[in-house]
Each structure stands twice: as C-alpha cells, then as structure tokens.
Amino acid sequence: MESWNLKYKTKCYNCGKIVDQIIEIYPNQAFVKCSNCGATRYYILKTVEIDKGNIIEEEKDKKRKFDNWLLEKEAKCYNCNTLYIQDILITESGMYVRCRNCGFARYYWFHMMEIPNK
C-alpha cells in the first residue's frame, strides 16, 4: 500500500532548526523525520473508527508540551474510496488522520524516537 507523504516546516524538537519535517503515513504506521538531523519519530496504528464527532477539532487546541501540527492532504480514503481532504493532526503523543467525507479516523500512537549518531 502506498504511503501519503507530506512536509511540514517547523522547529525540530531535536536539532532546533526550522526545517522541513518529512511525514509518511501508511495504513498501519507513520513516521516523522527531520530533513536536517534525521531524528525520526515512529507511530503505530492504535485505533480505527468512523468518527461521528470530530476528533481533530477536539484535539487540535489542547495544550501540550510541543506545538500541535495541523495539516491537510487530498488523498484517497481507505474507507469511502473517495479522493477527499484528509485532516491530519500530529501531537507529541500521537497522530490523528480523519477523512472529511466519511469521518473515517485513524489514531496512531507514538512508539519511539530514533536519533541518528553523527
């Protein structure tokens, strides 16, 4: 299954530089990698549901130690099979992906961080 690839320019939690963070989302896992220092966060799929409310709206303004990243991408939904806007929210503890068309929502749990040795 092909991944959804995104970029988000922000301050890296590891090297502190304002650079692109490379985001790859697969059906069962997701990665966020700094384009400068290579620090990578691994996320694993935890729950899948049809979201009757809006989990993105509920979670996006919650205060956390690190900033929440809010992104969107037009992609073919795995549930409704339609090319539609997918809302993506990345927090320090997890990643939410929600289809705006059918409410199909996936939650990925933060698993680990890997910092390459230089």
Point out which span in 6-14, 43-51, 60-68, 106-114 binds Zn ion (CB under 5 A): 6-14
Residue 75's DSSP bridge partners are 84
- Closest CB to Zn ion among residues 2, 61: 2
Beta-carbon contacts of 108 under 8 Å, excluding residues fewer than 6 positions away, are 25, 29, 30, 43, 44, 45, 46, 94, 95, 96, 97
Point out which span in 5-13, 23-31, 50-58, 64-72 binds Zn ion (CB under 5 A): 5-13
- Closest CB to Zn ion among residues 14, 54: 14
Residue with tokens 């059906």: 27
CA-to-CA distance for 13 and 81, rounded, in angstroms? 35
Q: Does 36 bind Zn ion (CB under 5 A)?
A: yes
Beta strands 4-11; 94-99: pairing state:
unpaired
| Min separation Cβ 60 and Zn ion, Å | 19
Of the candidate residues 45, 70, 80, 85, the single one contacting Zn ion (CB under 5 A): 80
- Residue 60 carries which DSSP code? H
Residue ranges that bind Zn ion, judged by CB under 5 A: 12, 14-15, 34, 36-37, 77, 79-80, 99, 101-102, 104
